[in-house]
Amino acid sequence: MARPRTVDRQRLLDAAAAVIAQEGPGFTLAKVAERAGVSVGSVAGHFGSKHGLLVALSTRATERVTDLLREAAEAASTPREAARAALVALYSGLGDATSAANHLAQLGVDLADPALRELLARHYAVVEDALRDVLRRATEDATHRRGPDPDHAARVLLAVANGAAIDWSIRPRGDLVTRLNRDIDAITRSWWE
C-alpha cells in the first residue's frame, strides 16, 4: 500500500490566498485544492470548512505582520522612510487592482461574520501596535520632530494606507506602491526632517 502524502498546511494557506486574489469571496475549497494539487478532502481535513480556512488565513496574517513591518523598516535611515517601508510592505502583497478588489470583496464578507470580524479587529490592532513600535524606534533619534506622538501617527498613517488601498483597488491609477509612497510622504514631510 502506498503511504499517504503529507499535505503542508502552509501550502494550502498560500493556495487559498492565491485563489481569493483570483476569485474573491466566491472561492471554493475545490479551487483551493486544485491550486494546491491535493484533494478537497485534504483541505477540509486541515480546516474543516471554508470558514475554518478563513480563520486560519487571518490567524497566519496576524502572526506574521509584526515581523513584516519591523523587517521592512529596519533598513530605513529616516523616520519617514521607516513609515513608508512598513506600510508599503503591508500592502505590497495585494498584487494588481483586480486581485486587490477581490481581497477587498472578501474583506466585506469577513466583516459580516462576527468571528472573522473579531479576528480582523485583532489583526488591525496588531498592525497598529507594530507600526507604532516602528515609529517609536525610528523617531528616538529624530531631530526636529513636529509630528504627532507615535500612537497618533500610527493611527493616521494606517488609516491613510487603508484608504489608499481601498481607493486604488476600486479606481486604479498607476501602481499601489507609488500611490502609498506619495500619500505617506505628503503627510509625513512636515512631521520629520
Residue 191, pLDDT > 90, answer no
Q: Which residue, 141, 17, 133, 155, is CA-closest to 68?
A: 133
Q: DSSP characters for 140-186? A: TT-SS--S--HHHHHHHHHHHHHHHHHHHHHS--S-HHHHHHHHHHH
- Assign residue 168 the CATH number of its domain: 1.10.357.10
User: What's residue 154's pLDDT?
Assistant: 95
Who has greater pLDDT, 193 or 187?
187
Whether 193 is covered by a domain: the verdict is no
* Structural domain containing residue 157: 58-188
Whether 90 is covered by a domain: the verdict is yes
Percent of the chain at pLDDT > 70 equals 94
pTM for the model stands at 0.88
91 and 172 belong to one structural domain: yes
86 and 169 belong to one structural domain: yes
Distance CA 160, CA 183 (A): 7
- pLDDT tens for 51-75 read 999 999 999 999 999 999 999 999 8
23 and 71 belong to one structural domain: no
Tally of structural domains, the chain: 2
24 and 119 belong to one structural domain: no
